[in-house]
């Protein structure tokens, strides 16, 4: 091969691209068999992220990664412009990377929550706090309802006085949320169009 590689449709020098993945020039020119396990994982990551895709599916991507590669993966995924479907038990990684979580709530019900794992836990606490203590929490009928109720802002306590600016911002939250939910519905409708994934980007 040559000394160029196509990265999401743009030519890059191989060594320059591999430097983005923490390889020095000697490592970039080494045979794959001479690389350590962590280096091979970084090389595989470089190969996958070079492809011009608008959908990336990753299953437990943080397994067996060293700290440098983990930080690199987070940075690369933050810069990824497509849709990322990610399955992981690494809660910290989820908090740092994802913007929306789909959680299996039981009985085959998948519910969408805004944000990462910690956001999901906080939204569940808010949702559960709004129900009577003796009442068992019924499963939500649809992800949309669960998303809406889970993110509904709680009333501030009387002791916590908000500034005028904060109170206005708080009062505008339902409108902002409705607008965001409408945008999400449009995006979900666009993503459900099967022809989107058959078109060449």
8 Å CB contact between 116 and 101: yes
Q: Which sequence spans correspond to the domains of the chain?
A: 158-201
8 Å CB contact between 124 and 150: yes
- Tens of pLDDT, residue by residue over 57-98, are 999 988 878 788 888 889 888 888 889 999 999 999 999 999
Q: What is the pTM of this model?
A: 0.55
Tokens of 181: 């939910």
């Amino acid at each position: 091969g040559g000394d160029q590689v196509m990265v999401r449709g743009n030519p890059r020098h191989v060594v320059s691209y591999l430097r983005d993945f923490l390889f020095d020039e000697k490592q970039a020119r080494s045979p794959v068999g001479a690389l350590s396990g962590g280096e091979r994982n970084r090389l595989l990551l470089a190969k996958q992220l070079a492809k011009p895709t608008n959908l990336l599916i990753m299953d437990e991507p943080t397994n067996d990664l060293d700290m440098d590669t983990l930080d690199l993966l987070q940075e690369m995924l933050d810069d990824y412009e497509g849709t990322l479907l990610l399955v992981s038990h690494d809660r910290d990684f989820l908090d740092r990377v994802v913007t929306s979580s789909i959680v299996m709530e039981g009985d085959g019900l998948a519910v969408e929550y805004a944000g990462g794992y910690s956001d999901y836990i906080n939204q569940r606490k808010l949702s559960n706090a709004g129900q009577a203590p003796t009442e068992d929490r019924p499963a939500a009928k649809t992800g949309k309802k669960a998303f809406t109720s889970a993110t509904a802002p709680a009333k501030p306590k009387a002791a916590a006085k908000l500034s005028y600016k904060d109170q206005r911002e708080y009062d505008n939250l339902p409108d902002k949320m409705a607008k965001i939910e409408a945008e999400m519905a449009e995006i979900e409708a666009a993503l459900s169009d099967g022809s989107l994934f058959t078109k060449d980007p």
